[in-house]
Chain A
């Protein structure tokens, strides 16, 4: 009798864990839990105004990048090039910043878009899986970045460093989010990327230009990473070989923490971007305040990431990442 009861409870718990409501709420629950736990563990030190300012300053570039990658991951694809793209685009921005700031911004965006176009081209035309393509190009552009920074760090102009104003960075980030949200919500772009993510063949048979959509998503991810490079240069002032190192995993983890199903498709929500990047930043700063060394921090992040993927993945839509 008691056993029966327990079985019953277990199966109900199982059903709840597999249910859509739980999956939709999980990021928010997780966010609250992480804040509360870290706050207790640090005796409230993560919520001081100073720490919050620091935390905010660390999320502008990742949020901009995550917005682009959001479209790629909605397709059910993946992009591992953000880190190296940010590195290379930061070099371009730094070099051009001596000539003109608007030119530097444009250069960064175009450089990122070009890398995205290369990814998209190989993914679409040669029908290679996106994670294979982008792992290859990740190494390629990491190499390019290293080539220009081996001797010394590449400095940016003083003019660009003078732009390190919170208002500007917030403005750019919010503008990117608003434009992307608008496109995702009120134009056919959102419908098209979700349709490809949910079922590419059926989307093609419904008149969606699937190849074009996929290509443009990668270009968009690249271009936004290029824009983020500008924000990055403002902040750091000079580019070293490690610029943007591991940004790709940070973005991937952020979006998944934000509740984005790794299979993409109909169940993605735009809020995944914001919730995810905030959560990652809180987690990151909390772990740093607690005084864990970087290796332990990585380990803890890895464990949390695994748990989240296991809980949020849509088993019904399970398939290989394109």
Chain B
């Protein structure tokens, strides 16, 4: 494609606290192109666009539109620069009229000597609405009179009447009926025909393929690839979104090893409102049980529910000896360990030393009649941090100084020290380099040999295929499929149950 490049994004970056929402994303968008932006929830596509539109400040890198670097501080400035957005949520303001919403931030042409000429504004707005074919919406009426879909149409008018160079459509179609969608597609086609560009965010891959020229994929904040819509299928896109790990030499190689029939943990009818519904399964001694699914399928909540960390869980989690696990201290006391996907907030205390992190769950075991000895704590922490080969200056070093992989080693060191028999590992290798991954897989295999049981929740399918004896696939908060360890099992088999 030899088209003129309209928008250049270079090394765009954004962090929210410890979450790296957008990680060094660079891409070009040509004039007269509809570029779809896809990725799972939390992949950074909305954040990326909201930086472009001045809703968030740019964390790093720069946008260049038509050869000019953008320095946008808010949405009005973005509009003036030729960028507008139709957002996912309600983007109109209650308590204002339709016309006032359309011209929000751009009232100047209707203001004379500080007085707003409402009649002129309504007249112009009505003209726009009629031109768009939305004549049934009255410019002078309060926006609250209209339903969600009509309000979205008003937003479309608001975002496009000034003929922006870049129109961002952020998951708007989900709110629209078929008719509304057709209106939107028409507008997209018009923008494209006019030599301007659209950034189109959507979860509906069918729609993405039929209405865009090119598709860029983001995953966990990182740019993955850009493909021509004409060259790919929905399955290709799904695979790119969910992610594939290349090379699998470090996984388990055994197949057909029998798993003990002894149940160590029994989960029955567990539900958490809005997260998971009626999840039941048994975990066996020495078993690695994998949980797979898309980010929002509820599998992460399953881990928390087992650990007693969900506030409003129903159903039962019972150990072999009949102990019910309903809160975290009980879980820890009865040999359940948990590592969270949200490592920096839930697994580890960032602003605390390695020593105090490692000893925390074991502190009662280390106390002698309630008394703690500093030397004993240090020795304990050092022993287990060393066992995990944590790279550190010493156990008094703060965890905040460590890399992601080393933080995870500290997390695992604490549960090694506690000697837990049931480990619930949520995304144990997330954001971790290959070497540490290898160490973690080796540790898991070791623990399995010792007869410990592991629940591994993972968004990485190859990891599940490579490590688990059994895989439960979740979708929309329910268990949607069960697979036994088998060399013939493929990613496609699992993906089919996920989406």
Residues of A in contact with B (beta carbons under 8 Å apart): 185-188, 191, 194-195, 198-199, 201-209, 265-267, 314, 316-317
Contacts and interface: CB of A to CB of B under 8 A. Distances in A.
B129 to A, nearest CB: 44
A185 B398 CA distance: 19
Of A203, A209, A266, the most chain B CB neighbours within 10 A belong to A266
A199 B371 contact: no
30 contacts: A186-B371, A187-B367, A188-B363, A188-B367, A188-B370, A191-B356, A191-B360, A194-B352, A194-B356, A195-B352, A195-B356, A195-B360, A198-B349, A198-B351, A198-B352, A199-B352, A202-B348, A203-B349, A204-B328, A205-B307, A205-B328, A205-B338, A205-B347, A206-B361, A207-B333, A265-B351, A265-B352, A266-B351, A266-B398, A316-B400
A266 B352 contact: yes
Interface of B: 307, 309, 328-329, 332-333, 338, 340, 345-353, 356-357, 359-361, 363-364, 367, 370-374, 398, 400, 414
Of B328, B351, B414, the most chain A CB neighbours within 10 A belong to B351
Of B349, B373, B374, the most chain A CB neighbours within 10 A belong to B349
A199 B340 CA distance: 14
A266 to B, nearest CB: 4
B358 to A, nearest CB: 10
B350 A199 contact: yes
Contact of A198 (B333, B350, B363, B367): B350
Contacts of A203: 349, 360
B345 A202 contact: yes
Contacts of B356: 191, 194-195, 266
Nearest to B414: A206
A202 B349 contact: yes
B372 A187 contact: yes
Given A187-B370, A266-B356, A266-B398, A199 B351 contact: yes
B54 to A, nearest CB: 25
A206 B345 CA distance: 11
The A contact surface, by secondary structure, is helix
A205 B309 contact: yes
B455 to A, nearest CB: 16
Query: Which 7 pairs show the lowest CB-CB distances between chains A and B?
Result: A199-B349, A207-B332, A206-B360, A198-B352, A198-B351, A266-B352, A202-B349
Contacts of B333: 207
Of A186, A194, A198, A202, the most chain B CB neighbours within 10 A belong to A202
Of B307, B346, B352, B356, the most chain A CB neighbours within 10 A belong to B352
B336 to A, nearest CB: 10
A187 B329 CA distance: 18
Given A199-B345, A202-B347, A207 B361 contact: yes
Contacts of A186: 371-373
A58 B346 CA distance: 44
A203 B328 CA distance: 11
Contacts of B352: 194-195, 198-199, 265-266
Contacts of A205: 307, 309, 328, 338, 340, 346-347
Contacts of B350: 198-199, 202
B177 to A, nearest CB: 40
Contact of B359 (A191, A266, A316): A191
Contacts of A185: 374
B372 A317 contact: no
Contact of A208 (B338, B347, B360): B360
A206 B400 contact: no
Contacts of A204: 309, 328
A206 to B, nearest CB: 4
Nearest to B373: A186
Of B309, B363, B370, the most chain A CB neighbours within 10 A belong to B363
A204 B351 CA distance: 15
Contact of B329 (A195, A199, A202, A209): A209
Contact of B345 (A195, A201, A317): A201
Nearest to B418: A207
A207 B367 contact: no
Nearest to B356: A191
A151 to B, nearest CB: 49
Nearest to A210: B328
A59 to B, nearest CB: 29
Contacts of B398: 266
Contact of A195 (B349, B367, B374): B349
Nearest to B363: A188
A314 B351 contact: yes
Contacts of A188: 363-364, 367, 370, 372
Nearest to A206: B360
Of A195, A198, A267, the most chain B CB neighbours within 10 A belong to A198
B346 A202 contact: yes
A266 B353 contact: yes
B349 A317 contact: no
Contacts of A207: 328-329, 332-333, 360-361
Nearest to B309: A205
A197 to B, nearest CB: 8
Contact of A201 (B346, B372, B400): B346
Contacts of B371: 186-187
Contacts of B353: 266
A186 B361 CA distance: 16
A209 B361 CA distance: 11
A207 B337 CA distance: 10
Nearest to A188: B363
Contacts of A265: 351-352
A21 to B, nearest CB: 14
A188 B329 CA distance: 14
A274 to B, nearest CB: 20
